[in-house]
Structure 1
Amino acid sequence: MSIGNSLEDGNSPEEDRPSVGRALQQARIAAGLTVDEVSSVTRVRVPIVQGIEQDDFSRCGGDVYARGHIRVLARAVRVDPEALINQFDAEHGGRPEPTPAAPLFDAERIRPEPRRPNWTAAMVAAIVAVVGFVGFTLFSGGEKGDGSPVAEETGSAKPTASTSSSPSPGKSGERKPEPSESAIAGVPADKVTVKLTAEDGQSWISAQDHNGRLMEEGVLRKGQSKTFSDSKRIDLVLGNAGAIKLFVNGKEVKNLSHSGSVQRLSYTKGDPEAG
């Protein structure tokens, strides 16, 4: 007769927890992103993203690169990367322990050699001192034979305009220049300048210059701002465009998009409409 159900009949919380790849896939679907969009934002190739979502990490090139891909993909789909990395380590044997540094024996320590006295410098200094003393003696003897005073009294000297204590008329009423209303309004005309501010929430952002070089990639948290500048063009990817306040070349781009939408934008020199 069985008194109660054994612990083996139920599943532990760890067994109910989805795998690393399944968790990333569910978060991507919940964020409304496709595999191609995640690949474009994170720069992780589509086959690697698909393999990770199927818990196949063979394309990553090792556990170190797999952890890096998991971290980037987790940030793109707005989940905690540390929890997924810890789960990955637990399922793949954990992280390797760092190798301690070997102790340094006294015989291996580099001991400084004793400094030898610089006799050449001492001799040169002695010669310079002798020549200076002789020259000073001759010069002092020549001044004693001259009956003219060395300097006249300066107590009766009249004050000049440079020593006047009255302030100059132009300095007392001088006004400091007032700063401009917006620092972004003074952007150079020969460049394209973009400023992003996360006002209504956080958003994943990516910015590239005209050569395709990555300028910034990551999560822009609420209240943070980023400014980018290039001589020709800036390409943007906004994961949550509705949360971003965008200034292009000193002008605000209004009605950007609704919250949660992904936007790909490109701007050049001139007004935002020219981008």
Structure 2
Amino acid sequence: MSIGSDLAEARRAAGLTVGQLSARTRVREALIHAIERDDFSQCGGDFYARGHIRNIAKVVGLDPEAMVHEYDELHGGVPLPVRAASVFQADTPIKIRENRSPNWTTAMAVALAIVVVFGVVKAMGGEDTPTAEVRPASVPAVPPPSASPPDAPGKPGPTRRAASLATGERGDQVVFQVKAKRSSWIDVRESGGRKLFSGMLEAGKTSVWKAKKGVKVTFGDGGAFLLQVNGKNLGTAGPSGQILNRSYEAPAPQTR
């Protein structure tokens, strides 16, 4: 027996056609046929192959982790983590420029010259002659802050608008966040159809996507994810074990 034959036999035992299995797992029928023939070349790599095997095994009643482990054993095992030190290595040492001490002799000479000039001008002008105020040319005068009227009722002020932008609460944008309670498949697309993500999200992982008008999401397991939209907690998408389609639209823009 092989991985493909085990999945095919379990599918038939569950009374599912390839089309029905495709609708529940969101995996293309052609790809399911290839996997049942132990042809994983169309999966796009080991990462996606593991996700498809785990998703299909869960629907047909097999142990997903056992099937993925069998796949890893047949394809060289789980990839080992790579140490960052072995990937990134500085070719040349970084040179730190030494800070030079300021030329105090020059500074004192300039200050002394200013004092002498000021004394000569005052002596020539006399005590009763007002002297012009000398301002450094490099420091412009700062005008006093003008009083601004308070924000009108119901109208967000600058601080509130800045806070709204920081949390993603914009009238033309949706900030969609999910946290996987357990490993499950999810497909996230913009309202226009552009794909943002499609695949397995491991347990404990958190992902965030942003879309201008809204997002359309398909959950492989409605109870496997905790949702947050524009900073607001929504809980789970629905009951556990159900495939769900949900849409989250951007709020109406606020008028100024």
Normalised by the size of structure 1, how large is the TM-score?
0.46
The structure number with the bigger radius of gyration is 1
